[in-house]
A and B are shown apart, each in its own frame.
Chain A
Amino acid sequence: MDKTERKAWLYLLPAMIFLGIFMVYPLFDVMVYSVEEGYNSASQTFRGVGLYNYAYVLRDPYFLQALKNTFILVIITVPVSTGIALLISVGLNSITRLKELFQTIFFLPYVTNTLAVGLVFMILFKKTPYSDGFVNLIIHFFGGSTVDFIEGPYWAKMCVMCFYTVWIVLPFKILILTSALASVDPDLYKAARVDGASKGRIFRKITLPMISPMIFYLIITGFIGAFKAYSDEVAIFGTNLNAAGMNTIVGFVYDMLYGDSGGYPSYAAAAALILFVIVLTITVINLLVRRKNSVIS
């Protein structure tokens, strides 16, 4: 090994140590945990090796609830947030005055502390004996009946959860779509206009195909992100998500690991790997759908 080579490894050493201890080793270790049956974290012993942990997790009503919540969250927020982001980005792209101001405002939720702002949402949506809260005030104004969004019925809680998630993720999506829209070659639009194409047609035939890779990217990252939802839920419903009936898969993992219900790294590992498989499957399906579509067009 010559001198430069030694130096290179020396420069890489810190990164490799950290990645080795906190990324590579855990990756294998988590698989080991997930198959150790009856693992006791105090004595660090286990009964045997098998798939019992997976079976246990898949039968646990809290996990099934978390699975259901997470799927509903994903199915609602990914299309809704992508749609709204597209609408807003197209709007942003069509104006010149105040464009930068709007862009800056829209990005603001990205830099805020989820836990802190979640508390504000909680207060806006909450109905207490002292006050119906701001959102209920608006609902009442439009003739609806008030409801406690934080400790009330399931669908009401789900509404808040989805609304907050969309609020939190939109900045990123708007940013990506606005820059994708701005990078479409203006000559294409000019040519289409010369040919007398209508605005709707231009949007469908030029804009959408040109930005579709970015929309696709947002849908995939959106799926992955929504499947990992956790902090936003804690921000609104508090740390005991099981009691609120609003737990997510990631929340289940942490609950198994730590806290009053914790001390079961094996169950946590099994749940985390189930999550990983779900996310991987959906990403692969997305990629396949995408490839099929691009072959057709």
Chain B
Amino acid sequence: MTQFELIGKKSRTGETVRKTATYILLSIWALIVLFPFYWMVLTSLKSYSAYNSEYVPKLYTTAPTLQNYTDAFTAVPLARYFGNTLIFTLVTTAVMLVVTVLAAYAFARLRFRGRNLLFTLFLALMMIPNELVIITNFVTITDWNMRNTFAGLILPSVTSVFYIYLLKESFEQVPEELYKAAKVDGTSDLKYLTRVMIPICQPTIVTIVILKVIECWNSYVWPRLITDDAAYFLVSNGIQEIRENGFGRENIPAMMAAVVVISVPLIILFLVFHKKIMAGVSRGGTKGA
């Protein structure tokens, strides 16, 4: 074996070792990510007595039961929390879409005095943290007697400067000639917006909708402030309520069944749209530290 071949062989072994180490590292993290999901499904399938008799928790179950799921829907108003969240998510997203599309269209296509100044002011609003304005919003909604109503939940959540910005950028990609041609044909702005702009910019709109749906489904702080009547709880508050007063603190399997039910819609949404969601988030979604 020549010197050259020897070096080649050595570096190939190094390469294999490196590859293996990489796969091991990635698999370990994948395991850490997936394990809590496995654990919640597993626990939700164990019966109450089986779970509580396991001093050393088992990693599998031999007698799966769906009893906990029945309990989750009968012993606590999980279906109601679920319905509330669905209404909240759909209405908030729909209103947000209308408000955002209109504003983005005005910034992208309509000429008016002070447009750039106003847009800069809008962008400046992105720096205001939610924690700062939530205090007054809480007082405002309380003053309007909108606590424990859907209006109170929805109204402060319908505008997003970031989405206006994202849509405006997208609208500006559409050639201006199309707009001029439409104007010559006497098409109204609203018709042009709904027939031309929105279909062309559909990918951005879908991204925004998905991000907003995720945000709504997971929102906790505002709903907690504004609702103390369980009839208006969203799933996040519902799960907290279940934890503190629900099945009795020790009925962990039933809690896990509720957790599974709450998590499933978003996980399905994610599995179907994972490419779109990941692309959308990397374009500027932020979450946490």
Residue positions of A touching B, CB distance < 8 A:
4-5, 7-9, 11-12, 14-16, 18-19, 21-27, 29-30, 33, 41, 73-74, 77-78, 81, 84, 87-88, 91-92, 94-95, 98, 102-117, 119-121, 123-124, 130-134, 137, 165, 167-169, 172, 175-176, 179, 221-226, 228-232, 234, 238-239, 250, 253-254, 257-258, 265, 268-269, 272-273, 275-276, 279
Contact = CB atoms under 8 A, between A and B. Distances in A.
A113 B218 contact: yes
Given A77-B289, A131-B56, A165-B288, A175 B281 contact: yes
B287 A172 contact: yes
Interface stretch (B1-9, B69-77, B137-145, B196-204): B137-145
A12 B103 contact: yes
B214 A18 contact: no
Given A104-B274, A172-B286, A22 B137 contact: yes
Contacts of B282: 175-176, 179
A238 B244 contact: yes
Contact of A111 (B111, B158, B277): B277
A223 to B, nearest CB: 7
A4 B110 contact: yes
Given A88-B25, A112-B263, A30 B136 contact: yes
B105 interface: yes
Interface string B111-153: 1110100100010010011011111111110000000000000
Contacts of A21: 140
Closest 10 CB pairs between A and B?
A26-B136, A226-B289, A26-B133, A15-B103, A225-B289, A8-B110, A11-B106, A8-B112, A225-B288, A18-B159
Contacts of B112: 4-5, 8-9
Contact of A4 (B32, B39, B111): B111
Given A24-B125, A123-B43, 6 more contacts: A23-B128, A88-B29, A114-B220, A175-B278, A268-B135, A273-B132
Contacts of B55: 130-132
A275 B22 CA distance: 40
Interface string B18-29: 110011011001
Contacts of B135: 26, 30, 33, 253, 257, 265, 268-269, 272
Interface residues of B, number: 91
A120 B259 contact: yes
**A110, A132, A229, A239: residue with the most chain B Cβ atoms closer than 10 Å:** A110
Contact of B132 (A108, A168, A272): A272
Contacts of B54: 131
Contact of A23 (B125, B225, B263, B274): B125
B159 A113 contact: no
B133 A30 contact: yes
B221 A172 contact: no
19 contacts: A8-B115, A11-B103, A14-B102, A22-B133, A22-B140, A26-B132, A103-B278, A107-B278, A113-B236, A113-B239, A117-B263, A120-B39, A168-B288, A175-B281, A224-B289, A239-B240, A250-B131, A257-B225, A258-B225
Nearest to A265: B135
B50 interface: no
B289 A134 contact: no
A9 B114 CA distance: 11
B100 interface: yes
B102 A116 contact: no
B211 to A, nearest CB: 10
A225 B57 contact: no
Contacts of B86: none
B252 interface: yes
Given A4-B111, A12-B103, A91 B131 contact: no
Nearest to A104: B274
B232 to A, nearest CB: 15
Contacts of A253: 131, 135
A102 B259 contact: no
A110 B102 CA distance: 29
A33 B134 CA distance: 13
A92 B30 CA distance: 12
Given A26-B133, A239-B240, A110 B289 contact: no
Nearest to A94: B22
A95 B18 CA distance: 10
